[in-house]
Amino acid sequence: MVNAILLIMIAYLIGSFSAAIVVCYGMNLPDPRTLGSGNPGATNVLRHGGKKAALFTFLLDVAKGVVAVLLTKWLIYEQMIATPLAPVELLAGVTLAVFLGHLYPIFFKFQGGKGVATFFGAITALVWQVGVTALATWLIIAVLLRYSSLAALSSAFLTPIYMVLFAQPTEYVILTILLSLLIFWRHRSNIRNLWSGTEGKIGSKST
């Protein structure tokens, strides 16, 4: 039997794997924390490391969320978890943990990314309809307006609403509200740039 607290800690450690830093190191690129926005995420890697590095970063960050949530679902299905928590409560806790691991990774001095890719991965593994809808929202706004940050903020804002529309448990609605607030907090400099008209567009070399 796996202890629920241990599982949540494992989810945090999975989230703490910083794909941007590892990918850039493996491809002999500068540490993304030292370039541009300083954010170890796919968008900053795209601007300073190219499409291939950015794609690897994005996929690995998505995979973190998927692995943590699907592992928990499998352990619940196999009845291998010792916990007084309801399954939805445990899954919400694991989703929050892997997301916080990405934002504040213990392996990299708590200097993490903004959480968007891991958010998509975890939410898609949690409720695939909501995850796919949120990702579609990001894609539409990103393609039309070419602002990655605006697309992320819009998706984050709408995800709790999607949870309600797809009749998901209250725990998941509360979870996504919390995750969305954290995404807004991590994007506060982008919000200022969007407001002032200085935010860099997708594909640009600006910060």
**Residue 48 contacts residue 40 (beta carbons within 8 Å):** no
Cβ neighbours of residue 55 closer than 8 Å, sequence gap 6 or more: 42
146-160: b or e for each residue (b if 16 or more CB lie within 10 Å)? ebbbbbbbbbbebbb
Instruction: Say what the pLDDT of residue 207 is.
Output: 43
pTM comes to 0.91
Instruction: Say what the pLDDT of residue 204 is.
Output: 64
Instruction: Say what the pLDDT of residue 203 is.
Output: 66
Mean pLDDT per 10-residue interval, the chain, length 207 residues: 88 94 88 81 83 91 96 91 88 97 92 93 97 96 92 97 97 97 95 91 63
Residue 64, token pair as written in the block: 């973190």
Helices 87-103 & 51-77 angle (0-180, nearest 10): 150
Residues 70, 122: Cα–Cα separation, whole Å = 9
Residues 16, 112: Cα–Cα separation, whole Å = 8
